[in-house]
Structure 1
Amino acid sequence: MEPTDHLLAEARRYGYIQGDQVWLHPFMNLPARQVGQVKESEEASLAYFAQRFEAFRTKVDDLLHKMEEAENKGSFLMKALHLKEQVASYDGLGDFESLHRRLTDAEENIKVLVARNREKNLSTKINLIKEVEALHDTVDWQGAADTIKELRQAWIKTGPVEKQLIEELDARFHDAVEGFFAKRKQFQAEKKAMTNRVYDKYKELIHKSEALKNSTEFEETTRKLKQLQQDWKEVDGSLPRKQANELWTRFRAAHNHFFERLKEHINTKRPEATTGGNGSSADENLNRKRALVGEAVALLERPMGEAVARAKELQAAWKKVGPVRGEESDRVWEQFLAACDKVFELSALEHFVRKRQANGLDTSSTPEEQYNVRVQALRDFIKYDRQEQEVLEENLGKLSDTPGNEAFRTMLQGKIRTFERKIRTKNELIELLRQRLVA
């Protein structure tokens, strides 16, 4: 059979001649329709429109083959829909119903794949959002910024989701990203402000020291410079290492200058005496500080209102006592600090208990019940202190080792030591309360 004979047979199977017109038989729900006119002959016209169908079928075959081979099958959906639409209007003679069925099957398969991919994309985008939101409380700003940059790229590369979810997901991801950078900006502003305050405090102490370094009022100036040294230690914060070293060098130079002059003065006037900054000997200063420690320790036996007021007076008196040589200086200071801490912590505890009683939350009356209330409160306070300490330690562990973070690192370390002292003091108070109960 010649090729034209096959085409002619296919044409007569799916079409017919009526007058001078070529018609396609009805198929599916479509009525018979005219596809062309008879020109040279009926056979030639039928064969011509059968050839047109073969050309259209080849386009469908090529598309379905490419779709089968492609990874992203969804990109072929619109082309498949376009060819499917042409089935109802294309001028040709052939089995259009089978082509429509093949294109419909391909369309359904693509829609299933698209739905699965969108579910996968939805899961991916939700995880990306959670990863950004998890960075909300970090203090590793540079590391987190690098991570967010990677998450942004992953977001861009992730395919689409259902249309009704796009706006909500985009807004949530954008808010999480912007929230992180807003918090970083606020932290940097606060850090800069803190650095400026610390810098100004150090500069003020330097200016005061330099104004005193040539003073001839040796006793009074010694006391003032010792106080300035204590004030320097108590500045709450730090600076970048290079800047801090420069300021410390100036501060120390002013003090060294004065105390070298003081040494010459002492050698000239009283070479046999070893004195403190207030004219008293180091041994006398040590005895005075030991006396202050003893009084601070005894404050726990006095009414709390009196004890707190007296503790503050003792702290002021301590600053006026001259220096003590060697390790004993640190030892008496730690003893004095611990004694005052107990007074202030016990005062805070009693305030808490009175507040509970005023609110009707505490109906205990016996000494043992009162003891239990106070011990439980102290244990709760210790738990909160430890939680705060753990957060600080976690933040310290995450802090990158860069010069720009040195000030923040020092601040965190100082706060951690403060909580360690608070916890130690509360544990000692629990033991003190136990001893009072059994006494």
Structure 2
Amino acid sequence: MNTDPWGRVDDDGTVYVRTSEGERVVGSWQAGAPEEALAFFRRKYDALVTEVELLEERLTNTDLSAAQALSSIEKLRSSVRDANVVGDLDALSRRLDTLTERAEERRAEQKRAQQQAREEARDIKERIAAEAERVAEETTHWKSGGERMRQLIDEWKAAPRADRATEQALWKRMSAARNAFSKRRKAYFAGLDQQREQVRKHKEELIAEAESLADSTDWGPTSGRYRELMQQWKAAGRADRSSEDDLWARFKAAQDRFFQARNAAFAERDAELRDNAEVKERLLKEAREEIHQIKDPREARARLRHYQEQWEEAGPLPRDSREQLEGAFRKLEDSVRKAEDQELQRTNPEARARAADTVNQLRESISQLESKLEQARSEGNDRKIREFEDALSARQSWLDEAEKALNEMS
């Protein structure tokens, strides 16, 4: 009978393995020497050792999950327990025990990581749901709001999952926010459609009036009414897109018809008034040359009245020259009136008396300042000297102007 530390072969060829629980039969060998039998069953043991080593390697150097590791350990433990091999099975069991401890540690680590990931996922989806609720409650820019809501849904789908209860609660908020946004948007556009329909009806009324005025020849009042209609058109807002362009085309066509007719009538009338413009241009030139040479304002006024009568008799002006010629003639009238006012001021006794009184007061003030200046110089007071010199300079300038005005009244 041959033996080794972990097994033996009986005389009848029965092969045994030794464990801490005693011997057990692992096989029978009839084909050769006992040493060959033990070598055969030791090789089977080595195969088990290799499987354990591979599992140790995977648990150490890969991200093998704890559940997969424990499952593999349990299969190996069953294989070791019932293995028909010869070798240190107790040592293999102890190595499996060590692997079990390490797998349990990994399971705890993975559980903590999973819990942390779920908390992070909860925070992410809480933020997404909160922003969706804000968009649903506050947004009135419907296009950008709708785009943002779709982005939030995509972010939700891409985000990691939290625990089932949290997922369900947050998704309920998310879904409610999306529905609330859609409801608000639908209500807004329904109201907008109603508003645009009211605008369309109002613009139809404006068009009807514009078309009724299109053939009017009452140019002034009708032009004013068209301006009012245009202001009402702008204030009315926009109808729906499909109607707005057609409404505007009809409204503009009515305006164009009236203003084209008015412009044609004005052009015809302006052509008739060209002769009036030529007459008034000649009158303006003559009046300027004559009146600017007259020194006596009363004579200038008399000649102006003569030209004013001729100006009125010449008749109305065409539009393109009306403002220029009328403005030039008014400027001539203003120059005559200004000359009259100046002459009246010059010959007014009360004004001359006031001017003389001003001159006398300034002369007296200058005399007093000269006395004070002499005293300051005698005292050597530089500050007062500067003050009195500045005051004298100012009053002398005032006196020169007052004397000039008084002389002009003489």
Compare CA radii of gyration and give the structure with the larger one: 2
Classify the TM-score, shorter chain.
0.3 to 0.5
Using structure 1 for the length normalisation, give the TM-score.
0.45
Highest relative contact order (Cα 8 Å, sep 6+), 1 or 2? 1
